[in-house]
Amino acid sequence: MSGFCMDKVKNAVLTGASKGIGKKILEKLALEKINVWCLCRTWSEEFSEYIEKLEKENGVWIKHVFCDLSSENSIRTAASTVLLDKNAIDYLINCAGINYRNSFLMTSAEDMKNVFQVNYYSPIRLIQLLAKNMIRNGGGKIINISSASGFEHNIGTFAYGASKNALNWATETMSRELAPFGIVVNGVAPGITDTDINKGNEVEIEKVISNMNIHRKANPDEIADIVMFLLSDKASYISGHIIRVDGGRVK
């Protein structure tokens, strides 16, 4: 049993679908026969062929909607494109994010704004723009992909950690405000995962891994599995939580 009761066709909006954790989530959504709007800034021929394969194998549609999460206008346009389809939105997964490493004193106001725009403001705006569709159609589920860094206070992660901490707070608050409308909101906070976002920082990563309970990086599949669990009917009584999937990092 997959945990998804398919009494009707389900549709999902997913950001960050072209690689890493987002790509694995996309794959698992397709396997559950869930249609997907992929909000992406980049779209390669290789990824397009991958999408076509998923569609044919699983009998779903997967639509590319251009969206630059650093631009408010682009976010609005992408949301409008999704809503013009006149389909119910059952799931919204905010997976896209950017990393930034520097000390507090070396973090410029511009850098801070850029990190917060993508990691915090863009998921908030998408939820504001798309939640009314969920409300009209009887509810839905929203998952925000945060980070273990949002719980920690490590040197060099000032902007990134602060943006993810803010997303954690927003996720918990939105879960209360949207629950009366049948919308369940949760978050997933991955630890060090084997994706491009962690490349170039191997020395620091190895230090963190050595102090973890499980001494390795997570596979993107392992994070995507938790997302799918939260979207499924098996998680029907979980609301307002940030699930840490971090291999037992030292708090």
pLDDT score of 1:
45
Provide the 3-class DSSP secondary structure of residue 206.
helix
Sequence-separated (6 or more) residues with CB below 8 Å from residue 180: none
pLDDT score of 251:
60
CA distance 222 to 14: 18
pLDDT score of 205:
82
Averaged over successive runs of 10 residues, the pLDDT of the chain (251 residues) comes to 78 96 97 97 91 97 97 98 97 93 82 94 98 97 93 80 96 98 97 80 81 90 98 97 90 60
Provide the 3-class DSSP secondary structure of residue 38.
strand
pTM of the complete model: 0.94
160 is catalytic: yes
Instruction: Look up residue 131 and give its two tokens.
Output: 């939640």
CA distance 128 to 130: 6
Among residues 50, 121, 160, 237, which one is catalytic? Answer: 160
CA distance 141 to 91: 5
What CATH number corresponds to the domain at position 235?
3.40.50.720
- The answer to the question of residue 4 being in a domain is no
pLDDT score of 203:
77
Range of the domain at 181: 11-244
- The answer to the question of residue 6 being in a domain is no
Provide the 3-class DSSP secondary structure of residue 141.
strand
- The answer to the question of residue 113 being in a domain is yes
- The answer to the question of residue 5 being in a domain is no
- The answer to the question of residue 142 being in a domain is yes
- The answer to the question of residue 67 being in a domain is yes
- The answer to the question of residue 249 being in a domain is no
CA distance 212 to 197: 19
Structural domain tally of the chain?
1
- The answer to the question of residue 70 being in a domain is yes
